[in-house]
Structure 1
Amino acid sequence: MDKTFIKGLVLLEAMARNDKGSGVSELAAQLLLNKSNVHRLLQALVHQGFARKNAETNRYELTMKMWELGSRIAGKLDVRLESLPFMKQLAEETRETVHLSILDGAEVLYIEKIDSPQPVRAYTTVGGRAPAQCVATGKALLAWADEEVLANVKNRLKAHTGKSIVRLGDLRRQLEEIRTTGYAINTGEWREQVVGAAAPIRDASGRVVAALGISGPAERLDLQALRQGGKRLIEATQAISLRLGYSRT
């Protein structure tokens, strides 16, 4: 176990409990550490943007970065709970697999799913991953992602099937279309015979935090069915977004 890392976490907790900022000597006495260790840990936190030194008080205080990280985690938990009723309804209506995804680097992470009751169906697993540019939920998330994310995806563009997107320009054109229609379609870019549609979910700040999708065998879901599914998904994701506090006004 990394003792320095543990000391850093303990230091963060101590600082979070002090509303008036913390001094080096105070933290050293409180945590039973020497001042030089505390100073090095504080400088690391400042360097990473988790803390700052107040020039007026000469004390260290935490920045909003901790709050931002916590809010993202809380938002992911909220979106799952708020999405479940709509996922169940979609599963009953479409009789296809319904899944909820978030973006993690250049991949989507499936955080919830409801399997199709049909014997031939699309398979995903909670905790499973897929290349974001190859699946509908991933493309719905990438359409509103920043350039740093797209740069990461660019380095991972490769053919998984004959329909996979392998050029960044082609991906950008698809993402532009997704922003226009409001939904994304996968025509067999990750698994040859598995297709799907998805739409984005926004939080109270308007940020896209997840995507809701349906998927199934290509023999059952043609392009028209996917487009109809996309429109139905927009209705569901807009309702979920409203429950998360999003307002279009």
Structure 2
Amino acid sequence: MSVGTVYGVGLGPGDPDLMSVRADRLLRRAKHVAFFRKAGRPGQARRIVEGMLPEDRVEFPMEYPVTTEIPLTDPRYNEILSRFYAECTAHLRGLAQAGEDVVVLCEGDPFFYGSFMHLYTRLKDDTPVEVVPAITGMSGAWTATGAPVTWGDDILTVLMGTLDEDTLAARMGAADAIVVMKIGRNIEKVRRALRRAGKYDAAHLIEFATMPNQSVQLLSDAEDKVTPYFSIIVVHGQGRRP
């Protein structure tokens, strides 16, 4: 029996029209479809492909056992997630070894801060895996602002809101253009870091980029606002231009 392939399919920033042709083809003929989601929720990746999958597909929702319930610094966090990824990998490997292809839905690009990476590293040495790249969420976010994010020799720095404030402030201060992801509960820390770096007044907050409920505003106009999961902060570069 031939071995199946696990496809990590990037879905782009959220608008189905921004998927690649290859992603669309794989989705419409998929027999097995896997996707991550928070327990009790449909999952953003699954929502994006609504109406695109074959009626007879078999779905495998992979529900995170923990998200923000315990801090990232708690040793249990990595232990719990490592066990979770190992269990998901075993299921996907079993399907592939039985000759079945599996499409794993990935928000944004599979190799850019995505959960699929944890499956890929566990599968790649003994199971055929193919990755379908996609437009990143940050690309959708800065495009939504209606202004180029970098000019000439601008240095673009991508930061996680989960970093400590001193690191954030130092990296922001050294950058020309900035993207901050994973904001959520870290919003006040990110605001303080931007102020320390002298970039606060130039920062934009983009929520649900490319989606029907997209919102774009200056971060300074969103004081006291709790940002959703799908939010990104962008500071545009102002570098060399003709």
TM-score w.r.t. length of structure 2: 0.28
More helix by share: 1
Q: Which has the higher contact order (CA 8 A, sep 6+)?
A: 2
TM-score w.r.t. length of structure 1: 0.28
